[in-house]
Amino acid sequence: MATYTKAQMSAEMLRAARFLGVGVAGLAADTAVFTLLHGEGASRAAARAASLLVATGVTWSLNRWLTFHRSGRAPSHELGRYALVALFAQGFNYSLFLVLSSFFPAVVPQLLILVSAVSATAISYTGQRLFTFRPARAAP
C-alpha cells in the first residue's frame, strides 16, 4: 500500500478542489447552453448533447491551465486523451440525464443536469488524473 506525505496529500486535495471549481464552470456553461437551446425549441436530448460538447471544451482548457501539471505530451495528444475520458464520463452523464428525464419528465431539466453531472464527477476526475494528465514517460 502506498503512503503519502502531508505535502502530497495537500497537493492532491488542492488539485481536487481546483477540479471541482473547474467543474462548476463547466456545469455553468453546460446549463447555460442547454437552457438557451432548449428554450429555442431543441429537444432535451439535442440541447444536452450540444451543451456537453461546450462544457467539455471549457473544462479541458481550464483543467489544463489550472488543475493539472502538463503531462509532457503535445497539446493535441493531451486533448485526444482528454476526449477519450470525457467521452466515457460524459456518455455516462448524458445517459443518466436521458434516463432521469424519462422517469421524471416534469422535473426541471436543469436539476437533472446537476444530478447527472455530479454523478459523473468521480469518473471524470479519476480518468483525467490517471490517464490524460499522467506524466508521459521519457523515451528509453
Could you tell me the pTM of the whole model?
Answer: 0.80
d(CA 114, CA 27) in angstroms, rounded, equals 7
Residue 12 has pLDDT above 90, yes or no: no
Please report the pLDDT score of residue 64 as a whole number. 84
For the chain, how many residues are written? 140
CA distance 42 to 38: 5
Closest C-alpha to 113, from 23, 40, 41:
23
Which residue bears the cell 483525467? 128
pLDDT given at position 77: 87
Nearest to 133 by CA among 36, 86, 68: 68
Q: Could you give the C-alpha distances from 68 to 50, 62, 64, in angstroms and in order?
A: 26, 9, 6
pLDDT at 76: 84
Give the pLDDT band of residue 139 (cuts 50, 70, 90). low
What is the spatial distance between Cα 110 and Cα 133, in angstroms, rounded to a whole number? Answer: 30
Predicted pLDDT at 2 = 64
41: left (phi over 0), alpha (psi -120 to 50) or beta: left
Distance of CA 52 to the CA centre of its chain: 9
Q: State the cell numbers at 53.
A: 460538447
pLDDT in tens, 48-97: 999 999 998 898 889 888 888 777 888 888 888 988 999 999 999 999 99
